[in-house]
Amino acid sequence: MFILVNLKAYPCDPIEVATAARDVAEASGARIAVSPQAADIARVADTGVETWGQHVSPNAHGSHTGSTLAEAVADNGAEGTLINHSENRLKLADIDGSVRAAERADLETIVCANNPAQVGAAAALGPDAVAVEPPELIGGDVSVATADPGIVEDAVAAAEAVDPAVDVFCGAGVSTGEDVSTAGDLGASGVLLASGVAKADDPEAVLEDLVSGI
């Protein structure tokens, strides 16, 4: 089970979260990654935690002011990237372009989707994983795996029908070890979460609870 902590643009200390994630991962043997703002990727990666970008743009080197170049994300220590998060939606052609850009830079990819139908379409683009995250549950107190377990099961089935090699993760409201365990029982092989760790007074304690569900 993969746990990816997205720090979004929250006013947290990315090094504190990264250090906690590294320590919990080392102690538990769990795979935990942190996805900070692009400007913080290098210093987060320097902690030794597995580091992911929050986005890469669907372009190569060139005249692309304001883009997040996949090669720059990789050169600064990231090992993977989110694509098409619900807070940074892309057109289908641009999702494909971002996946290809990430592949070019040897970054793992997770393409986010709102529902099982979108999961199937995303899986057809050949990312390493897709993540189903109903927008109405993002940032809430109830995990998608509890609020709507059917959407997780349907997402797993949708990806399996298109490409069995694509992993399925789930996100939105995940905050406890029980949420992680339930997600695994529904067929997910990873979870995405953000505020549950980024806004926590004690990120390490939250992470320890999360890995207890693996």
Binding residues for substrate: 6-8, 138, 173, 194-195
Active site residue 55: no
On the question of pLDDT at 145 being above 90, the answer is no
Q: What is the pLDDT of residue 135?
A: 72
The fold of 2-211 is: TIM Barrel (3.20.20)
* Structure token pair of residue 207: 């992470």
Q: What is the pLDDT of residues 153-197, one digit of tens each?
A: 999 999 999 999 999 999 877 888 998 999 999 999 999 999 999
Torsion of CA 86, 88, 93, 98, to 10 degrees: -110
- pLDDT confidence tier of residue 71, bands split at 50, 70 and 90: very high
Write the pLDDT tens digit of every residue in 5-24. Answer: 999 999 999 999 999 999 99
Residue 82 pLDDT greater than 90, yes or no: yes
> Can you give the pLDDT at residue 140?
63
- Confidence at residue 137, expressed as pLDDT on a 0 to 100 scale: 62
57: three-class secondary structure by DSSP: coil
pLDDT of residue 84: 97
CA dist., res. 209 & res. 180, Å (int): 10
| Residue 143 · residue 173 · CB < 8 Å | yes
- Position 118 scores a pLDDT of 94
Burial 156-188 (b: 16+ CB within 10 A, else e): bebbeebeeebbbbbbbbbbbbbbbbbbbebbb
Q: What is the pLDDT of residue 29?
A: 97
For residue 19, give the H/E element and its range: helix 14-28
Residue 76 has what pLDDT? 98
3-class state of residue 82 by DSSP: strand
Q: Is 133 a catalytic residue?
A: yes
Annotated binding-site residue numbers: 6-8, 138, 173, 194-195
Residue 191, beta-bridge partner list = 3, 170
CB atoms within 10 A of CB 209: 17
Among the listed residues 133, 136, 153, 160, the single catalytic one is 133
